Each structure stands twice: as structure tokens, then as C-alpha cells.
Amino acid sequence: AGRVQSIQSFTVTAGTSTADTRIAGLYVIQATQRLDRSVPLVAGRKGRVRVFLEAGSPNRQSPSVRVTLADASGATLVTRDIAAPRAGVPTRLDDTLEGQSWDFDLDGAFIQPGTTIQARILGAADLASGNDVYPAGGAPLPLHVVEVPPIGITLIPVRQGGTTGRVTDATRTLDSWLTEVRRIWPLKDIDLAQAPVMNWTEAITEDGMTWVRLRNAIEVQRLAANPRNLRYHYGVINRGPAPGIAGLSQVAQGPNNLARSAVGWDGDGTPNRGTYSSVFAHELGHNLQRAHSPCGGAAGPDPSYPYPNAELGVTGFDPASGRILHPALFKDIMSYCNPQWVSDHVYKDVLANRAWEAASPSPRVATQGMVVWGSIHDGEIVVEPAFQTADVSGPPVPGACTLLLRDASGAILQEVPFETREEADLPQGQHVRSFAFTLALGPEVQAALASMEVVDGSQAALGTVLRTSRRYASPTGLALPRDPVATAWGPGTVHLSWDAATHPMVMVTDPASGAVIGMVEGGSADLLTDAPELDLNLSAGVRSVRMRVKVTP
């Protein structure tokens, strides 16, 4: 982002009268704002007060303006006298330029529901009646302030292909990941945490499907570990500087506990990829229900985006630098064009997403279930190994696909309609829909479940479980053909081996922290951990078995 400079001609007169001067408007801006003040303010987040004066003819006047903010009871919170930014009151209101308004920065403590604002021109006895005050008539103007619930985000360094994603090091802190998020998104209280390393067997390449599987696996471990977990999970991977994918996410839809995971690279930025913090902000935008803004060839653009080529449409404000951002010189963060800021259209959409989460979920009894996940690409339906859970997050959102649960004879035990979501930020021309949700299972279904299939109603295609499991004699017991073995292989590394023919995928948890430290397959995996014992959730396809193993020297 750069400072907007303007060369503007003024006809200067020697007059001193301010009789034709008035306050034409004012607003408080935190990241973006319209002259009609229709962008809500986030309670507790700092902003800038901007007061706009307008004169009927060219002049060189320099009036001061007094701004008063009061609380809901009318008690004064702030009184600020603002000197003129330059000689000459503008003859036309233009909020896109710096130096054209009477401004001051306002601490977030004063931006609260019930706060009112009033502006008055000082020392202007010759003004026409009412022109010296805003709003006209003198009644204070209520600010449109909304409370935004806290947001929890977990960064997960991913071990894949022999490398581990850098979350922190000598040049970056955990908080530096929020550089762009704090500047752009309508958030205030952000609980950012770093999880232990998650070990992932498959190497991440420029093949978009490797990214899809990893992102979906992060969503699965989030749901399996705690189905009522409302935190957003972001996998951090180490990738080279070559052009290609920098991050991947899904566009969340509706008030539910789904599509809360994304992955992104850990790089400091190249001409082809954004910095780790800007990619993180973009992918989080998808999880906050924002599709792409139309610029740069971004797939699945928002058809309702109101401005051409992802322009901002209205003035922006960077609270970090204090600069006013001209709407025609910046592009929306959800596009593929630069330089980037956020439009009022996208900002208000994210605010609406956060509003539904303000209400606490109703308490309910825990229900046994499983996590179902997979993807649809080029007509092929891939159903990944399912994992049993002690609770569920709620029913899946109905959609064009149907999950069929069958017994050993092939009879259908249960039909579950569900929706899939398009993966955002894949290479051009690659389209993948994926799914991950928890499903409650009654005892009868759990006892009889032997296989499952997914029917894609949108394409009339049929996919079966790629890794089918045999029917167990008991829904809770399983005699393993070979017990898993965990062996310490030097400091901080454990080698895990198991029978992959029976259990193609294993979710590994550190019992001390409860953190998932691995989603591994193939019967053999090296885990970056120093845990003395491991909790394993071994999936045989449609059901899984849990066990704890000690790490042997």
C-alpha cells in the first residue's frame, strides 16, 4: 500500500469570512467506511474520526473543529479540538484524499454501543444558522457499533515431505501471523495458539489434490478431537519459492461448525506468492464465508461484488500506518490482484458471519458418531477412512450428495444427504469439491455398519469407499492382527508401525496434551514427538478402534 498523493488547484482569496462554510459530513473509520456511515464499527477497536467541511467558494480559511463524544447517558467521553489540515476549506467533499478532512485517532475504549458524536466549527459567529454543527440541529449522532465475539485460531506446523512448516523462528513471532488479519478484518479479540507438529505422510506438491487431502485432514482432526470445537485451524507447510499454490481453504456456508480449516505456506513472499501473513488473512476470509472477489483470474468469484475488477469502491484506512487508502488504487483482499485492502462489501459480509457466533450454542448430550470425509474430482468420488468420535458437532448441511450406510448384506441402514464445498485457490482449471462432517450413529447402525457409499446427485455418479472394512463382530471390540509398535528413534522422534492392510490410516494423539500429532498411513511413519505414550485411533474404513501404546526405547 502506498500513500495517495494529489495535486489539486485552489483559487486563493484574501477574504476571511466563513459564512458559506458548513460541516458536510463525518464518520469514524476502522478499515473501510462509506459517507453514509453504513459500515458498522467494531466495539473496542481503534478508529479514526474524520470531519468534512465544505465551502461555497474558493478560500484560504483555516477553521478549527471541536468533536465531542459521549456515552449512552450523555456523559462526555472525549472532547478534541482539531486544527485545520491546510489553508483553504475544500469546495467539494472528497473523502478519498488525505489532508481534506479534520481528523484524529480514537482509542477503541471509546467506540462502544451507545456512543454518540457531534462536531462543531469553532470561532464561526458569521456562519448561517445550523451550519456550524453536525448533525444539523445539534442532536448528537449515535455511532453504529457492534460487539464482535472473540475468535480462536490454531496454527499447526505440518511435517510433510521431510520438512516442517515454520510458525515461529528468529525472524517471526506467533503474533506476526496476525499482521494483515488485525489491519483488515473486523475482529478484535483473537486467541491465537500454536499446536504441536502434525505429522502427515503424503508430500505436498504442486498437485492440488495433495493440498486438498491435507486441508481436509486438518478439518477431520479438528472434528474428531473435539466436535464442538469452534476454533479455526490453519496448517502451516514449508514450500519452496517456485510459482504455484500458496494456500487452500473452503468457503464456509451458513451458521455451522464446518469449513473451519485451511492450509498455507510459511514463506516471506515472492512476486508470485504473498507473504505468510497475507496468505493467512486471505484463507481465513474464505473460512469466514467470503468467496473470491473478481480480479486476477480467481476462481468462483462473488457474482454480487459491486465494484469492477475488485476495486474497493469506498475509502479505506490502514490503522497500522495511519494512511487513507484511495479506493481506485487498491484491490480487495479476496482477489488475486495487488495492492490489497478490504472493500466495504466484503468487510460487512465478514461482520455478518461473526454475528451468528455471538450466541452460545445450546447445551446437549454427547452422542456417539463418526467423522466422514472425502472429495469429488473429475467425476471420481474418494471416501477417506472414517474415524469414530465420542461426540458430534451436529447434522451435516443437506445437499446434492447422499451418504449410504450399509450392512454386510448390502442393505441400506441409513441415508444422509449432505453438501460439498468447492476448494478455493487451486490452480486454474482444477475444480475439487470436498466434505468433512460428523454423523451421529444409533447403536443399531453402529452394530451393523459394514460399508458406506457416496452418491453425487449433481453428476449422477457413484463412488464407493476406497478402503473398505470388514464387518466387526462387536461395535466396540477388535482383535488386531498385529499390535502397533511405537519406538523412540533418537531425541524427539518416534517410529510408529502398524498393519496398514487392516487400518489404512491412523490418527495419533498425545494423551498428555490431547493434541493430534499425526494423520498417517502406509503402515510406517516417523513422528516428531517426545511423548512417552501415544493414543491411536486406527481406522479400518467405516469404523475405527482406539488404543494407547507406550513408546519403547
352 and 424 share one domain: no
379 and 352 share one domain: no
Amino acid at 172: R
169 and 250 share one domain: yes
Question: Cell numbers of 68, please?
Answer: 465531542
Confidence (pLDDT) at 473: 30
Confidence (pLDDT) at 425: 92
CATH number of the domain to which 497 belongs: 2.60.40.10
Q: Are 52 and 24 in contact (CB under 8 A)?
A: yes
Question: Residue by residue, what is the 3-state secondary structure of 265-313?
Answer: ECCCCCCCCCCHHHHHHHHHHHHCCCCECCCCCCCCECCCCCCHHHECC
269 and 164 share one domain: yes
Question: Cell numbers of 151, please?
Answer: 475468535
CATH number of the domain to which 157 belongs: 3.40.390.10
Confidence (pLDDT) at 14: 37
Question: Cell numbers of 81, please?
Answer: 479540538
Confidence (pLDDT) at 123: 80
Q: What is the total count of domains within the chain?
A: 4
409 and 436 share one domain: yes
Confidence (pLDDT) at 467: 33
Question: For residue 348, is it within any domain?
Answer: yes
Confidence (pLDDT) at 464: 44
Low-confidence ranges of the chain (pLDDT < 70): 1-19, 124-130, 241-243, 270-272, 358-366, 458-481
Question: For residue 225, is it within any domain?
Answer: yes
204 and 244 share one domain: yes
Confidence (pLDDT) at 36: 98
Four-CA torsion 124, 128, 131, 133, nearest 10 degrees: 60
78 and 126 share one domain: yes
Question: For residue 447, is it within any domain?
Answer: yes
394 and 519 share one domain: no
Question: For residue 13, is it within any domain?
Answer: no
26 and 119 share one domain: yes
230 and 301 share one domain: yes
Q: Which residues pair with 432 in a beta bridge?
A: 377
Confidence (pLDDT) at 468: 32
Q: Which of 397, 431, 464 is the last residue of a domain?
A: 464
Confidence (pLDDT) at 251: 92
Confidence (pLDDT) at 477: 41
Confidence (pLDDT) at 343: 99
163 and 252 share one domain: yes
Question: For residue 335, is it within any domain?
Answer: no
Q: Which of 300, 331, 356 is the last residue of a domain?
A: 356
Confidence (pLDDT) at 243: 62
Question: For residue 479, is it within any domain?
Answer: no
The Cα–Cα gap between 366 and 90 comes to 64
Confidence (pLDDT) at 202: 95
Question: Cell numbers of 199, please?
Answer: 505429522
Question: For residue 518, is it within any domain?
Answer: yes
129 and 38 share one domain: yes
Q: Which residues pair with 389 in a beta bridge?
A: 369
Question: For residue 333, is it within any domain?
Answer: no
The full DSSP string for 411-443 is: -EEEEEEE--EEEESPPTT--EEEEEEEEE--H
Q: Which of 401, 432, 464 is the last residue of a domain?
A: 464
Range of the domain at 529: 485-552
CATH number of the domain to which 27 belongs: 2.60.40.1930
Q: Are 496 and 201 in contact (CB under 8 A)?
A: no
